[in-house]
Structure 1
Amino acid sequence: MTILGIESITYGVNDLGTCRRFFADWGLREVAHDETRARFETLNGCAVQLALADDPALPPAFEAGPTLREVTWGVATREELDALRTRFAGQPGHFETDDAVACIDPNGMSIRVVVTTKRALDVKGSPSNVWGQTLRVDTPSPVYDRAEPVEVGHVVFFTNCVAEQEKFYHELLGFETSDRYPGRGAFMRCAPHGGHHDIFLLQLPDGKRGLNHVAFTVRDIHEVFGGGLHISRCGWATQLGPGRHPVSSAYFWYFKNPAGGLIEYYADEDMLTPEWQPRDFEPGPTVFAEWAVDGGLDGHTRRQKDAKAPEGKFMTERKNG
């Protein structure tokens, strides 16, 4: 049994209209909505579901305010789903149907497993020409007007029980640990072969539980920039970025999310195999980000926030004083 990745996420929100506008700007396709709910999809059919926070059908919240209520993971076949039923039995909040098994993880987050319905895509990012390896010939790299996320790539939670959660995801779902902040955090991937992490668990000194962020995979670094500039032009606030994570090698751009926590575009993460050995890191600003733009880039000037827009047709042109 191998978890393939995130199938869908569900938020409990206070302002459905604002959240619908945000996720449309984010680049998702709205496939359904009514007065209390909305459903969006990424390019491969990974779903983002929004429901008013007081909807009794939602799992309980693990923090106050708008936040994530459930993460649904996918497996390839019904046989793999059925093999999980005995593992889930007896877990807190356990329930099951013909099409799903679910429970509550040690941090209070509802998790569900279903057979995947995500679509296979023929989508490729732009290759990079690096010293000694030329992958792009007679073809310029793209410039994106906005992002169209491929899928929900990972989720990050604040927890008060990181060791218990790491054990839970390893034993129940077969996740592998990629790297650690000893006693403080665990980066975990769904399977031995895969991207650097599908979930990151971070224990704060004050023991706060909650959502840190949800990350959306885009095709390449150019789409990170194009998507971020578009979101900036739409008036949404940057938390941090663009920048680069040294732990996973990924490029990122974080924004504040009206549905709860932060939200991230990212690309170019490390791909790991069973040969990978987890590393230990001491938390710190330069471990989190090799470099980052504080406050983001302005979507109109294409410069750091509050910087003066360029003048003239060329960088060397200057207006006469």
Structure 2
Amino acid sequence: MSVLGIDQITYGTDDLLLARRFFQDWGLSLASESADELVFECLNGCRVIVAAMDKPGLPTAIEEGPTLREVVWGVETEADLGRYADAIRNDPGFMDVVVDGARRIGCTDPNGLAVRLQVTRKHAVPEVRSAQMNTWSDRPRVNAPAPVYERATPIEVGHVVFFVADVKAVEAFYASRLGFVSSDRYPNRGAFMRCAPKGGHHDLFLLQLPTGKRGINHVAFTVRDIHEVFGGGLHFSRCGWETQLGPGRHPVSSAYFWYFKNPAGGLIEYYADEDELTADWQPRDFEPGPTVFAEWAVDGGLDGHTRRQRGAEAGGKFLTEKK
């Protein structure tokens, strides 16, 4: 029994019209909309809900302004759901309800976030094809160019990152109640956690700041490969959205990234090529710092039109041509 991953997230926003354009530009499909709620889907059915901040029933925010209000994790079976219900039954905010005809359980984590579980509604995406990488020792891509993407179509919400007031308490909650496993740590500062012993480097990252701030840092969307990170980021840049940092590469998880500012709260990330871990993995300790966060990164992003760093001149047909 283990959590499979993120099934759904919910934002609370003060500008639904702006959020509609933002998430459609990001590459999500609009599944439905009403006066106070937008429902988007990734390729595998993972949902992103954006609701008006004053919508009745919206979980309480852990910070002021637009932010992430709820994370729904998927499990495999109804029996799994029952066992998790027993595990969290005595936690604050416990709930056991029916949503859209299916059972959903939940509680409030030690950071104040609404945590929910349901039998997963995600589905396989057999048509997804990722680029094969030719290296010195392994050259699987033969007589075929690597892909070039005009935009991204995210597969799913891959992980969420929160600022927490007490990283040890929140890490212990996800480990003891939901069976999450620690991947790596910033001792007393941060915890990278995955849903199960076998899986991607992290589904959840908890970061404690000296100020004790609580809130969303970012939501990360999985794309096929590094080429889609670039293609998606360039398209999003052409749409006029502002880069926070990237493209770049994380040395801790090995993933390539590109972060943008999100009007619905925090940051939003395209990422690909994270490490795959098993039960044999031993968590490492890192001292947080710029070179630990990013092996390399482009400050300000790339311009979607010139395909170069913002502000860089792009004259000439070839780089070898001289003015």
Fold shared per TM-score above 0.5: yes
Q: How does 1:1-321 map to 2 (within 5 A)?
A: 1-98=1-98, 99-122=103-126, 123-312=128-317, 314-319=318-323
What SS is found at the alignment partner of 1:263?
Answer: strand
Comparing 183-192 with 303-312, greater Cα deviation is found at 303-312
Q: Distance in 2 between matches of 1:235 and 1:145?
A: 15
Deviation larger for 27-36 or 79-88: 79-88
TM-superposed CA distance for 1:315, in Å, is: 2.1
What is the alpha-carbon distance in structure 2 between the residues aligned to residue 79 and residue 302 of structure 1? 50
Q: What is the distance in 1 between the residues matched to 2:234 and 2:75?
A: 35
**Root-mean-square deviation (Å):** 0.8
Gaps of 5+ in 1: none
CA distance in 1, matches of 2:306, 2:62: 40
How far 1:124 moved relative to its partner? 2.5
Which residue identity lines up with residue 299 of structure 2 in the other structure? D
CA shift digits 1:74-126 (9 cap, x unpaired)? 00111111111211211111111250111010001101000001010111310
Q: Is the 8 A contact 1:218 1:265 kept in 2?
A: yes
Whole-angstrom distance in 2 between the partners of 1:146 and 1:310: 24
Q: What amino acid maps onto 2:202 in structure 1?
A: H
Shift of 1:54: 1.0
Structure 2: distance between partners of 1:165 and 1:250: 24
**Matched residue type, 2:287:** E
Q: TM-score, normalised by structure 1?
A: 0.98
Distance 2:136 2:277 in 1: 23
Which runs of structure 1 show a deviation greater than 3 angstroms over 4 or more consecutive aligned residues?
Answer: none
Answer yes or no: is the 8 Å Cα contact 1:163–1:183 preserved in 2. Answer: yes
Deviations 1:16-64 (A, max 9, x none): 0000100000000001001210000000000000100111210000000
Q: Do the aligned residues in 2 keep the contact of 1:301 with 1:310 (CA within 8 Å)?
A: no
Q: Find the aligned partners of 1:2 and 1:147 in 2 and give their Cα distance.
A: 29
Alignment partners' CA distance in 1, 2:137 and 2:267 = 38
Read off the aligned partner of 2:273 and give its amino acid letter: D
After superposition, what is the alpha-carbon deviation per residue over 1:238-287, rounded to whole angstroms, capped at 9, x for unaligned? 00000000000000000000110000000000000000000000000000
CA distance in 2, matches of 1:310, 1:102: 56
Secondary structure of the 1:84 match is helix
For 2:152, what is the secondary structure of its paired residue?
A: coil
- What is the TM-score when the length of structure 2 is the normalising length? 0.97
Residues 42 and 148 in structure 1, CA contact (< 8 A), matched pair in contact too: yes
Taking only the aligned residue pairs, the percentage that are identical comes to 65
Q: Secondary structure at the match of 1:294?
A: coil
Cα separation, 2, equivalents of 1:187 and 1:28:
26
Gaps of at least 5 residues in structure 2 are none
Q: In the TM superposition, what is the alpha-carbon distance from 1:317 to its structure 2 partner?
A: 2.4
Larger mean Cα displacement after TM superposition, 244-253 or 122-131: 122-131
Structure 1 residue 318: Cα displacement: 3.3
Q: Secondary structure, in 3 states, of the residue corresponding to 2:236?
A: helix
